Amino acid sequence: MTMISSPMPPRSTGTAHECGGGRAVAVPDRRHVLSFLHRLGFRPGCAGFLSFALFALSCGVFGLAHARDGLAGGVQLPDWKTVEVRAHHLRGPVWYLEGFGGNIGVVVTGRGTVLIDDQYAPLTDKIRAALAEITKDPKPRFIINTHWHPDHTGGNERFAKAGAVVIAHDNTRHHLRAAEFDPEMPELLRPHVESLPIVTFNDTVTFHLDDEEVVAFHIPPAHTDGDVVVRLRDSDVIHAGDACFHGYYPYIDIENGGSIDGLIAFWERLVGGLMDEDTILIPGHGSPMTRADVAAYLADMKSVRGRVAAAMKRGEDLKTLIARHPLADLDPKYESEVVEEADILTMVWRSLERTRTGVRDLGDDHAPPSTHATPAGGH
């Protein structure tokens, strides 16, 4: 897989990577990127950090220049011509597209095509071209946003202008609206009024299409407070958005309602009833997952949470916890240039600190039982 088409940055410490058609591009030292993000007011766990860090680390040349008012950051956009958008068939009418940004779910039916997320605006034509290879009607009728982050909603505006109806949770529209007027939001990530979902819901919405029943439902705060999971009942496929990653530590947007306990509760719900041995799960980033994959990820992330909670219970401070590298055994499996050990420890710490749950009666490998059981006949 080439650098530019990878949904998440590789676990590399080098300074140059192959991009698209073999062109070498400079990849900045992570500290320079994070310094610039901090200048913009971004922190791990705050709005926009993941998407902008992905953008800066994964493509083009990140330059730092001195401006009259001090240090300014500049991001050279990738050569969008070299970005490849590839379609992968899962089963029946269900596909997913892999390009630059979150995985896009595709449901092709006789009553229109449904997209689940839409990556970045400059890729819209390539997404349409990929759709044209799998359906005679490459214009999506509906777009479901799994959450508000720009690598999942950047294509909203162009698709909406072409007639697509954009649908999301109430909180996702709220966050997109806030980002539109946020002075610290980089222009390349800023949504516009045409990007906003025109249909929102607070619990569940169902699309009754000829070939597939598509159920989009809100989950309690996990990655954000506006997370929507899409269940394709007939094909037994689930698109989880960024409420689940494959092969990476999770990213918790704490400032916008994210919660480690919410993520764990959702993964428990997947393993405990939403998935069976045949279910395919499309994560926000990474390759498709089985129930066994999710169960293994759940066990490891429960362990991460347990180690942080145990340190808090002992009276350790966050700096001391990070310094002793308590995740050395898990880092080879999950650490990336976007979410390193210190980042996930910080996000889990902040999440637990906000709720003050789980610090009592916690061993190193346990988390409190989920309070979000799947109702009988549920989503």
- Name the residue type at position 300: D
Strand partners, 87: 97
Contact between residue 166 and residue 160 where contact means Cβ atoms under 8 Å apart: yes
169 falls in which pLDDT band (50, 70, 90)? very high
CA 172 to chain centre: 13
Range ranked top by mean pLDDT from 76-90, 119-133, 309-323, 349-363: 309-323
| Among 151, 200, 147, 199, CA closest to 176 | 147
CA dihedral of residues 67, 70, 71, 77 (deg, nearest 10) = -40
What is the Cα–Cα distance from 234 to 228, expressed in whole angstroms? 19
Tally of CB atoms within 10 A around 256: 24
- Domains, the chain: 3-75 (no CATH), 83-298 (3.60.15.10), 301-355 (no CATH)
186 versus 165: the higher-pLDDT residue is 165
φ, ψ for residue 198 (rounded to 5)? -100, -10
Model pLDDT, residue 356: 73
Residue with tokens 């070299």: 82
CA 144 to chain centre: 14
Strand partners, 58: none
- Name the residue type at position 341: E
pLDDT(286) > 80: yes
